Structure 1
């Protein structure tokens, strides 16, 4: 896997999905692009560490995740969420609507880790529970429970906001 052709093929195959993962994780297309480039740089630099026990995608997402958390430690805290965010209570149905999806993302980014990341990986990156478990080095049951709890937290927050509006 260390030939230039293999590395180019890996980049072509995974750069878009790694960028999408980082965009969902960070909420910033610009930061995602920057971190995606750094992810592939680190992958090429450390290709000898890839042991094949996980998929290439999972390995790349692991690198990307660590780079994202490193970037969080280096930046200033973000502004708090606005007090009044109009939100629907049916999260799944309203994700299709762009404005409602943005509100849902605000709630999503207010979740603590690992809930936010597990929900993001499952919902937006289409990772399976076994893949998520592999990425976190946890069990599949842990992935399922964490995703379920994150979903419940989001739905509850959005329901509360909806009831406050009424």
Structure 2
């Protein structure tokens, strides 16, 4: 196994899980994961070694995701398995639609946030990065990452609950 294959094996699941959570689309997550590793291989010389390699890969993945969303300007796709068949179909469907609507409200609120709030929240929730890792990624402190995440969370909660957040303008 060469170096690139070892890196792929070691970090594939982390990057894929991160992109799967962002895209909510298996095929797109797979495509972006592959592209992430291709870009990483091409630009490995730019990796400064200051932070964890996984964090660097997630930043590449995040940028690819944002580029993809700008290109497509499309919403989150709805999978067929979200609409089950059977005895409890109606109740299950109503529950899933309610959950889907809540998730969509949160997703919309998240994407209305300004950076760095949007990025920090996504990296923490979807990328499962620690505050230390997020701080390294942004060249800031762990405390900064924690505060930024909690502010983003509050902004999202206020928006989903119908209140306006003054912090959006920060």
TM-score, normalised to structure 2, is 0.69
Equivalent residues of 1:24, 1:120 under 8 A apart:
no
| Mapping of residues 127-166 of structure 1, within 5 Å | 127-160=129-162
**Alpha-carbon separation, structure 2, partners of 1:55 and 1:19:** 17
Shift in Å, 1:160: 4.2
Q: Is 2:63 the partner of 1:66?
A: yes
Shift in Å, 1:28: 2.5
**Alpha-carbon separation, structure 2, partners of 1:158 and 1:22:** 23
Counterpart residue number, 2:19: 22
Aligned residues: 141
Q: Can you give the 5+ residue segments of structure 1 that lack an aligned partner in the other structure?
A: 80-96, 162-166
Shift in Å, 1:44: 1.2
**Alpha-carbon separation, structure 2, partners of 1:62 and 1:121:** 9
**Alpha-carbon separation, structure 1, partners of 2:14 and 2:4:** 16
Measured at CA, do residues 100 and 147 of structure 1 come closer, stay the same or move farther in structure 2, by a change above 3 Å? farther
Shift in Å, 1:12: 0.9
Bigger mean CA deviation after superposition, 108-117 or 129-138: 108-117
Counterpart residue number, 1:122: 124
Q: Give me the CA root mean square deviation.
A: 2.7
**Alpha-carbon separation, structure 2, partners of 1:65 and 1:13:** 19
Q: Is 2:115 the partner of 1:109?
A: no
Equivalent residues of 1:108, 1:116 under 8 A apart:
no
TM-score, normalised to structure 1, is 0.70
Counterpart residue number, 1:92: none
